[in-house]
Amino acid sequence: MEQPAINSPENDFYYPPPDVVSMAHIKEYEALYRRSLEDPQSFWGERAEELEWFQKWDQVLDDSNPPFYKWFPGAKTNIVYNALDRHLKTWRKNKLALIWEGEPGDVRTFSYYSLNREVCKFANVLRSMGVRKGDTVTIYLPRIPEQVIAMLAAAKVGAIHSVVYGGFSVESLAERIQDAQSRILITADGGWLRGKVVGLKDIADEAIARQATIENVIVVKRTGQDIYMEAGRDYWYHDLMSLPISSTSCFTEPMDAEDPLFILYTSGTTGRPKGILHTHGGYMVFTYTTLKYVFDIKDEDRWWCAADPGWITGHSYIVYAPLLNGATSFMYEGAPNHPYPNRWWRMVENYGITILYTAPTAIRGLMRFGDAWAKRHDLSSLRLLGSVGEPINPEAWRWYYSVIGKDNCPIMDTWWQTETGGFMITPLPITPLKPGSATRPFFGIDVDVVNEDGHPVAAGEEGYLVIKKPWPGMLRTLYRDPDRYREQYWGKFGDMYQTGDSARKDQDGYVWVIGRMDDVIKVSGYRLGTAEVESALVSHPAVAEAAAIGLPHEIKGNAIHAFVILRAGREQSDKLAEELRNHVAHEMGPIAKPEDVTFVDSLPKTRSGKIMRRVLKARALGQPVGDISTLEE
Ligand code: WTA
């Protein structure tokens, strides 16, 4: 194996400051990691003992029917019991659970006591609307406290929540409602973004017209403009919350550890989005433990995960893990540079944020405005930083480390997925870091890089990133589609979970994630599928066929580029290209809007008719197209 050059990131170690190490929950990695792999059941059993259960498990892991693993079978709990009820019995009752700042500058705070009251009230509203254990509730809200309240209230009554990101649009929402078969939709009149109102209710009305399951809509008043309210179908949240039924005490439904907690739709290789299903027990133990050990959560911390609750990062690390740990979480509604590029840094200073967890795209976006905006603020409260969503380029890493962290805050670069529930490959605060590497696997996580035949590749070589043992936070199935679950994740290597990412391990065993090997594109850290963009394009009357690919973009990481064959009789024009871009934004959401649309007469396809996006991508980048023996033309 060739040794990396002296100045390469692979030899560029950053060591944690002594005070971070001395306060860390975990002071030694190797021995505990080895033990956690040799005996994952006792490792996870001990972690589970730190939480409360109505009834203990018969066994920690039931692996008798792979890949349908069960964690803590026989146990009864409810994640909300551990996230809220448990803390009300302690001094944390009066501790702040959530500090929220709206984009216009309005602030709301909730202690554990007051958050629990809101959740209880809303849980009673849901019960009074007939929501029962096992029902699905779709939540389509901006980044406001009601989003957290709605998720917790649904889980409290035993319903399954399906949160649709507030940046998604008509077709994405309709499809997700339909697949989840929700009767209830929780939305808002709108949300604030860059000083403008995003009219969520208008989008929701259009989506409801395209599906057949919604009976009632609960609408939070956030932005206050006039909206359409359908009599008998639509109700204001604040009206329901002030009804006499909404008493502030409410029973937390005991759930089997393996009962579903939520579905979160995410883009896969082909076709429609997949409903990733997570459960009360295993997901709870996993998110609780990962946040505690990786970000070293302490009672005096002010934790800020700058994601959106509409994605897995927000589910796990805005909503569930911080509350399970009894932490104080900060949440912000709007854009990072509104009204000025110091918005985030001002909030770090104002609230005394101690840990900031965000995505490389946000770091690159703020870095572009220069150092002065951050330097105007006192950021000395920060102790740890975090990154998630895509590989972080060493340049952004070093800026984050020196300008934001003042060379004093280790960066936890956490690799994980919607499917994994929580952090999988990640440093701990004690880990020597290398910029751009997510470093080593978390406890109990058996990671490898393998070739086409499933054999481990040599250090330094690129291969498929796989996980060789089940873990508590893993998805249990795809909602109503177990065959697709088996085929998608376990089809290629049998008993190894296939992540869809490529990676390599270096001479120190550090993992370097390279990126997706399938048709998933990470745009600004958001996970989108080429298939969804293509079907949005084809739903336009001018389009006969379409292909979408991701190409590198300085800030977004990747950007979507579309290739379109028009129907006979339609003329190519800049105006039509613009119309198609807007059409995708209207159907899927602004994040999916292609950078450009190129009109073509044909698309490279295999003989069986599959579009070879790889060929389009190589051509666009001026690279060799590789093996095209299966190409039809
Ligand atoms: C990518 C987000 C490199 C990866 C939590 C993965 C990363 C996909 C990292 C999952 C990281 C996430 N370094 N790549 N630290 N974190 N990814 O489901 O390609 O939205 O497969 O979950 O994001 O995206 P998802």
Percent of the chain past pLDDT 90, that is, above it, reads 92
Instruction: Please state, rounded to an integer, the average pLDDT across all residues of the chain.
Output: 95
Do 536 and 588 form a contact (C-beta atoms < 8 A)? yes
Q: How far is the CA of 27 from the centre of ligand 1 (A)?
A: 27
Judged against a pLDDT cut of 70, whether residue 59 lies above it is answered with yes
Mean pLDDT, to the nearest integer, of 247-271? 90
What is the tens place of the pLDDT at every residue in 580-616?
999 999 999 999 999 999 999 999 998 888 889 999 9
Residue 8: pLDDT band (50, 70, 90) is: confident
What single-letter DSSP state applies at residue 593? -
The C-alpha atoms of residue 227 and residue 241 are separated, in whole angstroms, by 20
Whose tokens are 């070739």? That residue is: 451
What is the tens place of the pLDDT at every residue in 203-230?
999 999 999 899 999 999 999 999 999 9
Mean pLDDT, to the nearest integer, of 523-531? 93
Mean pLDDT, to the nearest integer, of 361-381? 97
| Lowest mean pLDDT segment, chosen from 14-18, 272-276, 420-424 | 272-276
What is the tens place of the pLDDT at every residue in 72-119?
999 999 999 999 999 999 999 999 999 999 999 999 999 999 999 999
Judged against a pLDDT cut of 90, whether residue 625 lies above it is answered with no
pLDDT of residue 631: 74
The answer to whether the CB of 307 is under 6 A from ligand 1 is no
Q: How far is the CA of 90 from the centre of ligand 1 (A)?
A: 36
The answer to whether the CB of 576 is under 6 A from ligand 1 is no
Q: Extract the tokens encoding 210.
A: 């395209």
Judged against a pLDDT cut of 70, whether residue 2 lies above it is answered with no
Q: How far is the CA of 95 from the centre of ligand 1 (A)?
A: 32
**How many residues can be counted in the chain?**
633
Q: Which atom of ligand 1 is nearest to the CA of 313?
A: 5
pLDDT of residue 100: 98
The answer to whether the CB of 416 is under 6 A from ligand 1 is yes
pLDDT of residue 633: 59
What is the tens place of the pLDDT at every residue in 327-336?
999 999 999 9
Q: Which atom of ligand 1 is nearest to the CA of 516?
A: 19
The answer to whether the CB of 266 is under 6 A from ligand 1 is yes
Q: How far is the CA of 421 from the centre of ligand 1 (A)?
A: 11
Nearest CA to ligand 1 atom 5: 417
Judged against a pLDDT cut of 50, whether residue 1 lies above it is answered with no
The answer to whether the CB of 498 is under 6 A from ligand 1 is no
The answer to whether the CB of 439 is under 6 A from ligand 1 is no
The amino acid occupying position 618 is A
The answer to whether the CB of 501 is under 6 A from ligand 1 is yes
Judged against a pLDDT cut of 80, whether residue 9 lies above it is answered with no
Do 202 and 219 form a contact (C-beta atoms < 8 A)? no
pLDDT of residue 629: 74
Q: How far is the CA of 223 from the centre of ligand 1 (A)?
A: 32
Q: Which helix (H) or strand (E) is 165 found in, with range?
A: none
Q: Extract the tokens encoding 530.
A: 């080429």
What is the tens place of the pLDDT at every residue in 283-302?
999 999 999 999 999 999 99
What are the E-state strand segments in 50-117? 61-62, 70-71, 76-77, 96-101, 107-111
Mean pLDDT, to the nearest integer, of 258-265? 98
What is the tens place of the pLDDT at every residue in 396-443?
999 999 999 999 999 999 999 999 999 999 999 999 999 999 999 999
**Omega before 67 cis (within 30°)?**
yes
Q: How far is the CA of 430 from the centre of ligand 1 (A)?
A: 23
pTM for the full predicted model: 0.96
What is the tens place of the pLDDT at every residue in 461-517?
999 999 999 999 999 999 999 999 999 999 999 899 999 999 999 999 999 999 999
Q: How far is the CA of 16 from the centre of ligand 1 (A)?
A: 24
The answer to whether the CB of 149 is under 6 A from ligand 1 is no
Identify the CA nearest to 75 among candidates 61, 58, 62, 63.
58
Nearest CA to ligand 1 atom 13: 391
The answer to whether the CB of 418 is under 6 A from ligand 1 is yes
pLDDT of residue 552: 94
Cα 42–chain centre separation: 28
Residue 350: pLDDT band (50, 70, 90) is: very high
Judged against a pLDDT cut of 60, whether residue 54 lies above it is answered with yes
Q: 587: Cβ–Cβ under 8 A, 6 or more apart, which residues? A: 169, 170, 171, 172, 536, 539
Judged against a pLDDT cut of 80, whether residue 270 lies above it is answered with no
Nearest CA to ligand 1 atom 8: 417
| Lowest mean pLDDT segment, chosen from 247-251, 292-296, 376-380, 596-600 | 247-251
Residue 3: pLDDT band (50, 70, 90) is: low
Long-range contacts formed by 193-198: CB under 8 A, 24+ apart: 193/103, 193/142, 193/334, 193/335, 194/103, 194/334, 194/335, 194/338, 195/103, 195/338, 195/339, 197/223, 197/225, 198/142, 198/166, 198/167
The C-alpha atoms of residue 511 and residue 447 are separated, in whole angstroms, by 9
Q: How far is the CA of 388 from the centre of ligand 1 (A)?
A: 7
Whose tokens are 């995708």? That residue is: 584
Q: Which atom of ligand 1 is nearest to the CA of 426?
A: 15
Q: Which atom of ligand 1 is nearest to the CA of 419?
A: 18
Do 591 and 522 form a contact (C-beta atoms < 8 A)? no
Exposure of 222 in the CB half-sphere (CA atoms within 13 A): 32
Long-range contacts formed by 224-233: CB under 8 A, 24+ apart: 224/189, 225/189, 225/190, 225/197, 225/199, 227/189, 227/190, 227/199, 227/201, 227/202, 228/201, 228/202, 230/205
The C-alpha atoms of residue 170 and residue 172 are separated, in whole angstroms, by 6
